[in-house]
Amino acid sequence: MRSPKDFFRPLAVGAPDPVRQIPQRPSRMIHFFDPGNEKMAAKVPDLATKADVLLGNLEDAVAADRKEIARAGLVRVAREADLGDTQLWTRVNSLDSPWALDDLITLVTEVGDKLDVIMVPKVEGPEDIHYVDRLLAQLEARAGLRRPLLVHAILETASGVANVEAIALASPRMQGISLGPADLAASRRMKTTRVGGGHPGYLVRSDPTGDDLNEGRLTYQQDLWHYTVARMVDACAEAGILPYYGPFGDIRDTVGCEDQFRNAYLLGCVGAWSLHPAQIAIARKVFSPSPEEVAWARRVIAEMGDGTGAVMIDGKMQDDATVKQCQVIASLADDLAARDPELAAAYGSVSA
């Protein structure tokens, strides 16, 4: 293990200094596109006006015989597309695949200055992050980059979940972690074939009211991902990095998608993946606090003065802790308003 004194030292001579704070740039949706798919790549400039993050995906969903085409497509998009201040991320192939090394070498040396974050799939433990950390430092030094690339891990193996705290703390490059429910389900041998979302069989049932065990018993579907998301949120909060829900594969089920995203938002996630253009607006809606919530938060902060003591507002007790909760909402609103003029107007004008 590295000494804490060396944690923020570059891991290669000539590599940029690691960051000490993860930039708090809005990332409500990480929109996945296949850079080797010409139709999708052509939509990138327009999508950049709608999404906070565009991610050129090189891993699963890109067929084995199209890996090089996708990688070359991403280099082209990074060089040619005008993305404004929308972030460009990539998901490279898993570290045990035949493509991961070339993904990293090509992308960092050719377009490392255009990329913000590298998403690493199927992370099993901190050793995977240490490997990527050192390799990135070497490649950044070779490419003469002045800004370090950040790393995002996907939590999608049982070992990864068992080691999530160590993964979150493994490197100053760690930007965040996303839940990968499809691979995680397979790794855990869960019996669901869905990509995220609930399952009608995972439920609780109310007690019987009489002798007939089938009579009048209500069932409530439960969230299969609650434990993992909550644990990931705690690991990320401890490390000062950002947690995300991942994919919702039933593109037609916009209602179920919104519910899954909202559960994640309420538990502390800052965003989710969008797999189809239709999911961008869902994430934007869910991961932006409502104008009413923002107005309430600002009112509590204003009425609480120095933030200590207790007051009643509209019959509800407010104290030092509720001010902190309200500060989370208010500062998120400020960050989003700086990027999104529509939200800026909505947050500026509505009162509680």
Ligand X SMILES: CC(C)(COP(=O)(O)OP(=O)(O)OC[C@H]1O[C@@H](n2cnc3c(N)ncnc32)[C@H](O)[C@@H]1OP(=O)(O)O)[C@@H](O)C(=O)NCCC(=O)NCCSC(=O)C[C@H](O)C(=O)O
**Residues at the site binding ligand X, with contacts judged by CB under 6 A:** 32-33, 39-40, 43, 57, 60-61, 154, 156, 180-183, 195, 246-247, 251, 275-277
Residue 60 or 110 having the CB closest to ligand X:
60
Q: How many residues bind Mg ion (CB under 5 A)?
A: 3
Residue 61 or 255 having the CB closest to ligand X:
61
What is the closest distance, in whole angstroms, from the C-beta atom of residue 93 to ligand X in the complex? Answer: 11
C-alpha span between 313 and 326 (Å, rounded)? 13
Structure-token pair, residue 299: 């009112």
Are the beta carbons of 96 and 86 closer than 8 angstroms?
no
Binding residues: 91, 156, 183
Binding mask 151-190 for Mg ion (x = CB under 5 A): -----x-----------------------x--x-------
Binding residues for substrate: 91, 156
Q: Helices 100-111 and 67-80: crossing angle, nearest 10°? A: 20
| Number of residues assigned to the chain | 352
Residue 43 binding partner per list Mg ion, ligand X, none, with a CB distance cut-off of 5 to 8 Å that depends on partner kind: ligand X
Residue 105 or 195 having the CB closest to ligand X:
195
Residue 126 binding partner per list Mg ion, ligand X, none, with a CB distance cut-off of 5 to 8 Å that depends on partner kind: none
Residue 123 or 137 having the CB closest to ligand X:
123
Residue 265 binding partner per list Mg ion, ligand X, none, with a CB distance cut-off of 5 to 8 Å that depends on partner kind: none
Instruction: Find the largest Cα–Cα distance for the chain.
Output: 76
What is the closest distance, in whole angstroms, from the C-beta atom of residue 123 to Mg ion in the complex? Answer: 11
Residue 180 or 197 having the CB closest to Mg ion:
180
Of 95, 87, 28, 31, give the one whose Cα is nearest residue 59: 95
C-alpha span between 201 and 340 (Å, rounded)? 40
Structure-token pair, residue 90: 């990539």
Residue 246 binding partner per list ligand X, Mg ion, none, with a CB distance cut-off of 5 to 8 Å that depends on partner kind: ligand X
Q: Which residues bind Mg ion (CB under 5 A)?
A: 156, 180, 183
